[in-house]
Amino acid sequence: MHPALSVIVFTTFSGMGYGLFIWICGNILIGTPPFREEIIFGTSMSFILVATGLLSSVAHLGRPERSWRAFSQWRTSWLSREGIMSILTFGPIIFIGGETYLNTGLDFLIMPMALLGIIGAVITLYTTSMIYASLKAIPAWHNKWVIAGFQVYALSSGGVAYIMVAGWQHYQIVMDLLVFALAVKIMTWIYIDRNRGQYKRESALGLSDFGKAKPFEPAHSQKNYLQREMGYELGSLRRTVMRWLALGGGFIIPAALLYVGFPLAPVIVVICLIGMMAERWLFFAEAEHVVRLYYDKDEI
Amino acid sequence: MTCLPDKTDKKLGLLIDLDICVGCHACAVNCKEWNTSGITGPMEDIKPYGDDPSGVWYNRIHSYEFKKPGEVDRTVYFPKSCLHCEDAPCVTVCPTGASLKRSEDGIVLVNPDVCIGCKLCSWACPYGAREYDTTGGVMQKCTLCVDKIYDETIPEERRVPSCVSTCPAGARHFGDFADPESNVSKLAAANDARDLFPEMETKPVNQYLPPRKRQIHKEKSLNHKVSNVKDAMLRWAKLDFTG
């Protein structure tokens, strides 16, 4: 699949934003709330990350001015459900940040809102992952690793952001999470690498009993939309480079910097975000769509 | 609404005979001709006369060479357009309701006034049936010529999709697959009709008839008897054309 910057920014930024918000809410719930300024800063950052991600996804649309229509089909469409959940989850984010800032006397609602915030963020992340995991035509996405990954990477990258926001008291857990996320990523790659080749061109043509098929005359002289959107061919060198960039930036370097107590937390956040963007770039670039069986791929 | 209908009254679709198709692209050309001024048109053409033309087509004609040990290679021309699936994944993923499957005849359509151009439907379709209109910012696809097959101002025998009416070889048939007595159902039943990509569980309505079994006359077709008469003039004189 073509790795479009808009969808990469959408999922990485909103993932980190929701992860950070889950960390803030979790700490409020277990009785170790961050300081007032930290909550205001953290919820603002969470809001900005999520909003940037969502605006970026809207920029991906052909008719962005109609994007409000996307809230209507929640009965069947994961994209629609994601849109609705992301808007609903703004409620707790804005409430916790706003109430902490304005102090209107509704602070007894902070605890229930924190619980709702965690539930909302987890469901939103799930709906985002299901946009991809529900597509049978893209085997690299149509599996449980994708669903687990979106949750785990949000928590690990959000944990790094939380350290920047509220200090180092949980850095051990964040480090463990980064290592766990690293393991999930590697397991995901092992899974998709081992499951290549399950769909064949002959079956796509409905002619499995006619022997081996290869393309003869191309259907069109120039690349069409299908090949531009779904025909991305990832070279093996670039794959290796990007995989190391994703592992290093997304998980290993942030974990190492936390381990040595690197003092500039914003730098760790930036490194982690760049690594997650490399990870998400690969998520698209490595995902082969079965429509390529009609073109250049013998099997997928 | 992007919920799929439980059951459609009709299952209108195409039956494409791969044994007959000669790969002339006339169906694709006439499809473009009709639909570019049809209800979901225009179908864009970017730099149509330049070095790198691109644009939207609802129908594309692929071709493949099949090799099977012990058999002579076979060339198959393979027209591909929307299969109007019963379990159309492109419909259920649509966040706006622009993508729909009609309960009366099963035709899958995109409402260009509601589509937001998120392209998710094209990701969900295993067959590459949908193409994106960069000019209008919306998705486009085969309409089964819904604005032709119901048009009572044209003679009844011409109320078939334009790809079917134009096929010079008679490789394309149009009809109701829900009716076991229809032309397409009978042809499908008699000729081992195939679903494309059954693993995708989309239940395509359109069916493909595979190339028929070859009649093998080994000594005739593969081992020509070579004439003993070498001289072409003499061969004519003897009316011996075996070589």
Q: How far is A73 from chain B (nearest CA, A)?
A: 5
The predicted pLDDT at position B217 comes to 59
Q: What is the pLDDT of residue A119?
A: 98
Give me A250's structure tokens. 């997304």
Mean pLDDT of chain B: 92
User: Residue B182: which pLDDT band, with cuts at 50, 70 and 90?
Assistant: very high
Residue A38 is assigned to a structural domain of this protein = yes
Flag whether residue A6 sits within 8 Å of chain B, measured between CB atoms. no
Could you tell me if residue B220 is inside a domain?
Answer: no
**Does the residue B239 lie in any domain?**
no
Confidence of residue B236 (pLDDT cuts 50, 70, 90): confident
Indicate the residue type of B164.
V
Distance of residue B151 Cα from the nearest chain A Cα, in angstroms: 31
- Chain A: give the shortest CA distance to residue B155, in Å: 33
CB pairs under 8 A between A and B: 194
Tally of domains within chain B: 1
List chain B residues with CB under 8 Å of A138. 123
Using DSSP's 3-state secondary structure scheme, residue A127 falls into helix
Domain of residue A213 covers 5-295
> Searching chain B, which residue's CA lies closest to the CA of residue A65?
B116
What is the per-residue pLDDT across B183-199, written as a single tens digit (0 to 9) for each?
A: 999 999 999 999 999 99
We report the CATH number of the domain holding residue A71 as 1.20.1630.10
Put simply, the answer to whether A73 touches B60 (Cβ < 8 Å) is: no
> Given pLDDT bands bounded at 50, 70 and 90, which one contains residue A276?
very high
Structural domain contains residue A300: no
Of the candidate ranges A146-150, A228-232, B37-41, the one whose mean pLDDT is the lowest: B37-41
pLDDT-derived band at B120 (thresholds 50, 70, 90) equals very high
Comparing CB atoms, the residue among B56, B66, B114 nearest residue A211 is B66
Q: What share of chain A in percent tops pLDDT 90?
A: 99
B231 lies in a domain?
no
Asked if residue B43 is part of any domain, the answer here is yes
Q: How many CB atoms lie within 10 A of CB B77?
A: 21
Contact (CB<8Å) A205/B76: yes
CATH number at residue B111: 3.30.70.20
Q: Is the pLDDT of residue B7 over 70?
A: yes
Residue B232 within a domain:
no
User: DSSP states of A39-51 as a string?
Assistant: HHHHHHHHHHHHH
Return the pLDDT at B231: 73
pLDDT of residue B219: 53
A32–B contact, CB cutoff 8 A: no
Is there a contact between B109 and B143 (Cβ–Cβ < 8 Å)? Answer: yes
CA-wise closest residue to B184 among B166, B203, B208: B208
**Which amino acid makes up residue A35?**
F
Domain span at B130? 12-209
Mean pLDDT of chain A: 96
Residue B202 lies in a domain: yes
In a domain, B224, yes or no: no
- Which chain A positions have a beta carbon within 8 Å of B110's beta carbon? none
Please report residues of A whose CB lies closer than 8 A to that of B124: 135, 137
Report if residue B34 sits inside a domain.
yes
Please give, rounded to a whole number of angstroms, the shortest distance from the CA of B240 to a CA of chain A: 37
- DSSP class of residue A181? H
The domain tally of chain A equals 1
Q: Which residue of A has its CA nearest to B197?
A: A204
- Complex-level ipTM: 0.95
- State the amino acid at position B229 in one-letter form: V
User: What residues are paired with B87 via a beta bridge?
Assistant: none
Contact criterion met (CB < 8 Å) for B196 and A217: no
Predicted confidence at residue B228, as pLDDT, reads 64
Q: What are the distances in angstroms from CA A215 to CA A186, A233, A298, B61, B73?
A: 34, 17, 9, 11, 13
